Amino acid sequence: MINIEEIRKKAAAWLGEEFDEPTRSEVKHMLEHDEKGLIDAFYQDLEFGTGGLRGIMGAGTNRMNRYTLGMATQGLSNYLKKHAINPSSVKVAIAYDCRNNSSYFAKVAADIFTANGFTAYLFESLRPTPELSYAIRIYSCDAGVIITASHNPKEYNGYKVSWNDGGQVVSPHDSGIINEVRSIRSVTEIAAGGDPSKIIMLGEETDRKYLDEVLKLSLNPEIIRRNAGMGIVYTPLHGTGYKMVPEALKMYGFKNVHTVEQQCITDGNFPTLRSPNPEEPDALAMALDLAREKNADLVMATDPDADRLGIAVRKPSGEFILLNGNQTGALLTWYIISQKKKNGELKGNEYIINTIVTSDLLDRIAEKNGVKCYNVLTGFKFFAALMRDLEGKEKYIGGGEESFGYLPGDYVRDKDGVASCALIAEAAAWAADHGKSLWELLLDIYAEYGLFREKLVNVVRKGAEGAEQIRKMMEGYRTSPPAEIAGSRVVKIDDYLTCLSSDLVTGKKTPLLLEKSNVLQFFLADGTKISVRPSGTEPKIKFYFSASTMMKDTGEFEKLWKELDDRVNAVITDLNL
């Protein structure tokens, strides 16, 4: 229940002299003229979750600003003083993307870290998230942060924390850091007086080392040489990929790469976009126009911190089709596994990683080729944790999640849009070398492993009221689960909050061997799978739908695709989404 008097009291504390004048002025305006804005800005503290902070920029405890960031940085610093490998010589890497205030927030963080006696490895200008992960590893840092809100709207920024392996923090460090951050009760506890001598600037030397690792992933350099003129269009969507992706493609040997120049201008207002999210078809509109002009065959877009990749491919009819994250993941998985198998590089201990809401097609490709597939919860922190556990025992060769994030190599422990661009371009070159487009290659994969139709529906609920609505929706699905959806009986429910799988036919309950997470999955008698989870980074609840069937040959695609599409749409309609 919202207590407006408590909120006004909380806001009034931000009128003190410890806050700068622009902050005091913004809070004063909300107190006097904008009660709704005041509530949203102060009804809670911006939650420092397992990945860090992410929120709308502005004054307030529920906003991303130098004070909420500062308290998070001080809490992280306090934890590192107790748990770093060498607490007397802590090193932290810092990167940032193109968003408004990102470079400023990065400097604030660097000053706080050095005020705590740490050495800060600060990138000289904006860099992709995967390069930060790489820098943490090669400079033996104890942790790293990148100032980014990934693909969120322009009003957002964030603060993502990684541990010493370059992956996002997991247990026990996640809860430990959260507790330290929550123990910071006042901005006066933030260390002041940064030491510039303890800031080490990172630049081209780190870029070259990172790109050398990207180049090592290439599986068929001779095929690229034969297809070096293949037309490629790339857009960084005003973000950090503007330099690194074209350089990676050049190093691979591609000679006909066109960039969307208007979107190579780094700008946190994203002036040419409705949303800087490569999952959204609108985001690739300018790139598609350029591809038609240049007669290119492949279109690629990365999000502002270049950890996600969206692509469009040309069909035999000449029109372009945007692939979803599952389809791109299937192409990458098939290409890596098939070519390693052809090259004799599969020794029997290789594995890929998939998430529980990503297409089961990736599992089938791996299993049919003798490669193990591990399923984890949503989020690349779970990829990194598993890779750390299996290091020296099994060999990671790839993986991804439906939300356009992929990791083709193990030198990075986060999503890598740069390397993914290079390898999907190489897969397109392989297809061209065999007289096919990437679209035709995807149809071949469907014919061999099964046709999967997946859809994602996001239900947005903003602010304090929205958060409560999302909570009630999840509660309703748990307390009163549907017995039937679109005429098909619910035969199994997996609840990752209770970590129990309930077979509704036999009544048997079995444990789910993953961490607790607010995710529900409903399995229908006709094979349809529905996954429901609140987003951890945006004010929305996400519904994932998957239906599949076997396909004898590519000639059946259109007919079977429509059947699966109709089945999924009937489920969406029945759920009133």
3-class SS of residue 89: coil
460 and 436 in a common domain: no
CATH number of residue 270's parent domain: 3.40.120.10
Is position 150 annotated as part of the catalytic site?
A: yes
Selecting among 133, 150, 162, 403, the annotated active-site residue is: 150
464 and 428 in a common domain: no
Q: Which residue type is seen at 432?
A: A
Q: Which residues contact 212 (CB under 8 A, 6 or more apart)?
A: none
Whether 166 is in a domain gets the answer yes
Q: How many domains does the chain have?
A: 4
283 and 166 in a common domain: no
390 and 306 in a common domain: yes
Domain of 498? 452-574
Whether 218 is in a domain gets the answer no
Last residue of a domain, one of 447, 463, 479: 447
- Measured between alpha carbons, how far is 150 from 502 in angstroms, rounded to an integer? 35
CATH number of residue 525's parent domain: 3.30.310.50
- Measured between alpha carbons, how far is 336 from 470 in angstroms, rounded to an integer? 39
Q: Which pLDDT score, from 0 to 100, does residue 364 have?
A: 97
- Measured between alpha carbons, how far is 421 from 217 in angstroms, rounded to an integer? 12
Q: Which pLDDT score, from 0 to 100, does residue 465 have?
A: 84
Q: Which pLDDT score, from 0 to 100, does residue 116 have?
A: 98
3-class SS of residue 152: coil
Per-residue pLDDT tens for 335-376? 999 999 999 999 999 999 999 999 999 999 999 999 999 999
- Measured between alpha carbons, how far is 430 from 436 in angstroms, rounded to an integer? 8
- Cβ atoms 504, 495 nearer than 8 A: no
Residue at token pair 């430990």: 176
86 and 36 in a common domain: no
366 and 276 in a common domain: yes
245 and 197 in a common domain: no
Q: Which pLDDT score, from 0 to 100, does residue 154 have?
A: 95
377 and 255 in a common domain: yes
Whether 217 is in a domain gets the answer no
464 and 430 in a common domain: no
- Cβ atoms 145, 159 nearer than 8 A: yes
Whether 323 is in a domain gets the answer yes
**Phi, then psi, of 191 in degrees rounded to 5:** -60, 135
Whether 19 is in a domain gets the answer yes
Q: Is the dihedral of CA 75, 77, 81, 85 positive or negative?
A: positive
Neighbours of 82 (CB within 10 A): 9
- Cβ atoms 118, 259 nearer than 8 A: no
Whether 163 is in a domain gets the answer yes
523 and 435 in a common domain: no
Whether 112 is in a domain gets the answer yes
- Cβ atoms 393, 387 nearer than 8 A: no
**Phi, then psi, of 254 in degrees rounded to 5:** -75, 130
- Measured between alpha carbons, how far is 66 from 58 in angstroms, rounded to an integer? 9
Q: What is the pLDDT along the chain (577 residues), one digit of tens a residue?
A: 689 999 999 999 999 999 999 999 999 999 999 999 999 999 999 988 777 899 999 999 999 999 999 999 999 999 999 999 999 999 999 999 999 999 999 999 999 999 999 999 999 999 999 999 999 999 999 999 999 999 889 999 999 999 999 999 988 998 999 999 999 999 999 999 999 999 999 999 999 999 999 999 999 999 999 999 999 999 999 999 999 999 999 999 999 999 999 999 999 999 999 999 999 999 999 999 999 999 999 999 999 999 999 999 999 999 999 999 999 999 999 999 999 999 999 999 999 999 999 999 999 999 999 999 999 999 899 999 999 999 999 999 999 999 999 999 999 999 999 999 999 999 999 999 999 999 999 999 999 999 999 999 999 998 878 888 999 999 999 999 999 999 999 999 999 999 999 999 999 999 999 999 999 999 999 999 999 999 877 789 999 999 999 999 999 999 999 999 999 999 999 999 9
Per-residue pLDDT tens for 138-158? 999 999 999 999 988 999 999
85 and 25 in a common domain: no
Q: Which pLDDT score, from 0 to 100, does residue 22 have?
A: 96
Whether 103 is in a domain gets the answer yes
Taking only Cα atoms into account, the Rg of the chain, rounded to an integer number of angstroms, comes to: 24
365 and 237 in a common domain: yes
